[in-house]
């Protein structure tokens, strides 16, 4: 029997590296581009699935702006501490978080909102074909 490498969250996978999988069992990654031009960007490894999902959200907003589809989740206090530690571990992550917050705040202030991963399961073919 094979173990799934996908999570219920977008962009979250099991860490397959034997050397670190016990310590940080989850990997956040994002796909950029389409078809042959697509590349995968590894975003980092985390102890919890929810933190990896939050990391994915941050980068999805940075890369895709208002077109980002994000995970719908709330972190526990312990997960928030892990997320904060993850961000503070590298200066580039601090910049990415700031850029993502700016993009999110601009969208929300203009009355917009991000699509949530959980909302996609509710969309039917008929919904897509109906005029807006």
pLDDT digits (tens, 9 = 90+) for 86-119: 999 999 999 999 999 999 999 999 999 888 877 6
- Asked if 70 and 114 count as a contact pair (C-beta separation under 8 A), the reply is yes
First to last CA, the chain: 45
> Mean pLDDT, the chain, as a whole number?
85
From the number of C-beta atoms within 10 Å of its C-beta (0-12, 13-18, 19+), residue 51 rates as: buried
Residue 32 pLDDT greater than 80, yes or no: yes
Give the contacts of 23 (CB within 8 A, at least 6 positions apart): 47
pTM: 0.82
The pair of three-digit structure tokens given for residue 6, joined into one six-digit string: 């996908």
pLDDT digits (tens, 9 = 90+) for 55-81: 999 999 999 999 999 999 999 999 999
- Asked if 113 and 107 count as a contact pair (C-beta separation under 8 A), the reply is yes
């Amino acid at each position: 029997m094979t173990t799934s490498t996908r999570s219920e969250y977008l962009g979250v996978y099991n860490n397959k590296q034997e050397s670190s999988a016990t310590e940080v069992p989850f990997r956040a990654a994002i796909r950029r581009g389409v078809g042959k031009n697509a590349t995968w960007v590894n975003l980092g490894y985390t102890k919890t699935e929810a933190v990896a999902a939050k990391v994915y959200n941050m980068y999805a907003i940075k890369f895709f702006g208002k077109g980002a589809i994000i995970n719908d989740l709330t972190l526990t206090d312990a997960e928030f501490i892990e997320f904060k530690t993850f961000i503070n571990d590298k200066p580039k992550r601090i910049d990415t978080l700031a850029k993502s917050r700016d993009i999110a705040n601009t969208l929300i202030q203009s009355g917009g909102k991000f699509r949530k991963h959980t909302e996609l399961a509710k969309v039917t073919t008929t919904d897509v074909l109906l005029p807006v």
